Amino acid sequence: MTRVLTNRWFRTTLLGGVALGAMAATAQADELGSLKAQLETLQARVNEIESTQPGATAPGTYPANASLITFRRGSLLGSSDSPFTKYEDQIPGDRGFTIAITPTADLPAPITEVSVSGYVKADFIFDTRNDLGRSVSADAIVIGGGDNENFQALANQSRFRIRSRSDTAVGQIRTLIEGDFEGSGSGVNAFRLRHAWGAWDMTPNLTFGAGQTWTTFMPLNGVAPTVDFGGPTGIPFVRQTQLRLTYKYGSFTTHVALENPDTDLRTSGGIAVNNGGGSGVANELPDLTAAMQWEGPGGALVHVSGILRELQVDDDALGGTVNDKELGYGFNTAVDLPIGDMITLYGSFTYGDGLGRYLLNAGNRAGVINAAGTIDTTEVYGITAGASLRLSEASSINANWGYERHGNALASADTRSLQTGHLNYMWQPVSKLRMGIEGIYAERELVGGVNDDNLRFQFGTWFFF
């Protein structure tokens, strides 16, 4: 009896296991079928989405609603300028227009973009004692010249800018071409080249640049915004052709450049001796410049730069007595220091021996050709200090003071020191329009100690396109 019950229990258990296995297999088959149906539904949706995308087109074709060339409002912010941009050169990012060119009918990201922008600038200037030019030059003050009031209105600082960037197999390539009407050619307000700069990103951190732009020795910070085209005296300020390597790592950017040399001296009588004078100036070596900039939190900037240059003359035109070489050198440091959201402090210091034209208003003062026919280099230093008070999103008050002093080796009637002060109110209600009114004080002192000054009032307006 026991054996019969055992056999029945075994058969029942076996049949139950088979039933459960069949049920599990059936459930698994149902799940697989459901999963397969879901995958088919998802694939159909993906096919539907891809059919509406430009990338879904067959090779050699593109969707009817796609374009290989597109136009949009705005420029290429920060992509094609030389490494930093002077405030007076800045154009709002939503101004201008950009042409984007895509490489294939598959329409990935554009490989070439070209933007065109610029502005019309009109200035209305009144000098109380001296005509200091289209931008303030304290060196133009006539000592003892009396009160010669002068009014002028001009629009020659208006400019055009064309920038581009192209993605290539060897890295991105960028260009900048910019000009204004400040030229001194035969025509009135002749068009001139300001920047012609090309840059190639050799690696993500290393960039090769060549062309004409601001000297690497010049800081593009350290000065508050001005209505005047040039700004305060006492700071490096020149554009020239150069080869430059730029390395960027985190918040640090380092530049090394070989720049166009131009020996700029004076005779003991104060006559300029330079490349343009046909007086036997020789230039055997390029000027060597280097700079480092640190970008800190909140917009803080610190710039440090240096320069080495060879000054050389070999001049038969002066009786064959001038044949000499001297080394010129200098360094600069500049800082922008934001304090909260409303105030920014600015400052710079420059020192050198034989700097000459690299310092604003110091052209042809790198040194003096003495009676023995050799070069005596001129020591010089410059200081600027400024501040900006942001009153609102659209308006600000800005102030700058600049001082420049020349030391040894000066012609008897030459300039010993220059000083300027700028105070302005700027208003930019919309990105298309900026206005500013400014008072500018300038003073010039000669080697003999006599001095004179001038007060300028200027209203400027920018119309950006």
- Interval 299-323 mean pLDDT: 81
Residue-range definition of the domain harbouring residue 264: 119-152+197-464
Angstrom distance (rounded) from CA 121 to CA 227:
10
Q: What is the mean pLDDT of the chain?
A: 82
In a domain, 177, yes or no: no
Which pLDDT score, from 0 to 100, does residue 60 have? Answer: 46
Of 185, 199, 204, nearest to 80 by C-alpha is 199
CATH number at residue 356: 2.40.160.10
Angstrom distance (rounded) from CA 3 to CA 367:
126
In a domain, 334, yes or no: yes
In a domain, 73, yes or no: no
Q: Would strands 97-101 and 112-127 be described as parallel, antiparallel, or unpaired?
A: antiparallel
In a domain, 323, yes or no: yes
- Picking from 311-320, 326-335, 339-348, which range would have the lowest pLDDT averaged per residue? 311-320
- Picking from 3-12, 65-74, 426-435, which range would have the lowest pLDDT averaged per residue? 3-12
In a domain, 335, yes or no: yes
Number of domains the chain is built from: 1
- Over residues 56-111, the pLDDT tens digits come to 444 445 555 556 777 777 776 544 444 446 666 778 777 887 887 766 545 555 67
pLDDT at 337 over 90: yes
> Which three-class secondary structure state does DSSP give residue 374?
coil
Angstrom distance (rounded) from CA 140 to CA 51:
70
Q: How far does Cα 103 stand from its chain's mean position?
A: 29
In a domain, 158, yes or no: no
Angstrom distance (rounded) from CA 275 to CA 200:
31
420 and 410 in contact (C-beta within 8 Å)?
no
- State the burial class of residue 389 (Cβ atoms within 10 Å of its Cβ: 0-12, 13-18, 19+): middle
- Interval 133-157 mean pLDDT: 87
- Interval 281-295 mean pLDDT: 91
168 or 255, greater pLDDT: 255
Contacts of 400 (CB under 8 A, 6+ apart): 223, 224, 226, 231, 232, 346, 384, 385, 386, 420, 421, 422
222 and 345 in contact (C-beta within 8 Å)?
no
Half-sphere exposure of 124 (CA within 13 A, CB side): 5
pLDDT at 41 over 80: no
- Picking from 242-246, 290-294, 314-318, which range would have the lowest pLDDT averaged per residue? 314-318
Distance (Å) of CA 226 to CA 152, 218, 279, 333, 412: 18, 17, 37, 20, 33
Q: Which amino acid, residue 157?
A: Q
pLDDT at 320 over 70: no
Which pLDDT score, from 0 to 100, does residue 325 have? Answer: 87
Where does 51-149 show beta strands of DSSP type E? 69-73, 97-101, 112-127
Which pLDDT score, from 0 to 100, does residue 46 have? Answer: 56
- Interval 339-343 mean pLDDT: 93
pLDDT at 316 over 80: no
What would the two tokens of residue 359 be? 């310092």
Angstrom distance (rounded) from CA 80 to CA 100:
15
What one-character DSSP code corresponds to residue 431?
Answer: T
Angstrom distance (rounded) from CA 261 to CA 327:
12
- Over residues 210-264, the pLDDT tens digits come to 999 999 999 989 999 999 988 999 999 999 999 999 999 999 999 999 999 988 8
Confidence (pTM): 0.79
Which pLDDT score, from 0 to 100, does residue 33 have? Answer: 64
In a domain, 451, yes or no: yes
In a domain, 178, yes or no: no
